[in-house]
Amino acid sequence: MDKQDRIESGGYMFAQPTTFSDAFPTIKELSVKVEVRKGGPMDGAPRVLHFSIQNPPGEYVSCTNSRCTEGGWCIGDVLREMVAKSETSKTTGGICTGRERMNRASFRECLTHFMAEITVSYT
């Protein structure tokens, strides 16, 4: 299994494979809407993803750019920061960490932009 497969499977990349509830034991309810804009922040046709405690996100939200390598946005970091600060709602965004393959030898930064509305309640 290569790195991309692990990202696609939605697992949390801690020392041990774990589940969302193991990774975030204090989160009781979760509502996440992520808008993924493949063309950058001004893309008018985002792909909208929804996550909940029954259907939690993985460590990374996958990039929708098929030419992107090892791409995605680390929502795990955002959730860990929210838990650390006991935040209950947050609107935040970021860009893909991947690179887009132009040809065999050259890459450019992937343009995919992620914007998330996150609501959390705690146990």
| String of DSSP letters for 13-48 | -SSS---HHHH-TTEEEEEEEEEEETT-TT-SS-EE
Q: Does 58 bind Zn ion (CB under 5 A)?
A: no
CB of residue 27 to Zn ion, shortest distance in Å: 27
Q: Does 68 bind Zn ion (CB under 5 A)?
A: yes
Site for Zn ion in 5-44 (CB under 5 A): none
Binding mask 93-112 for Zn ion (x = CB under 5 A): ---x-x-----------x-x
Match 């909208």 to its residue by tokens. 48
CA-wise closest residue to 95 among 119, 114, 78, 81: 114
Q: Does 63 bind Zn ion (CB under 5 A)?
A: yes
Cβ proximity to Zn ion: between 9 and 89 the closer is 9
Using CA atoms, how far residue 14 sits from 19, 58, 119, in Å, is 10, 12, 24
Q: By rule CB under 5 A, what count of residues binds Zn ion?
A: 8
Residues that bind Zn ion (CB under 5 A): 63, 65, 68, 71, 96, 98, 110, 112
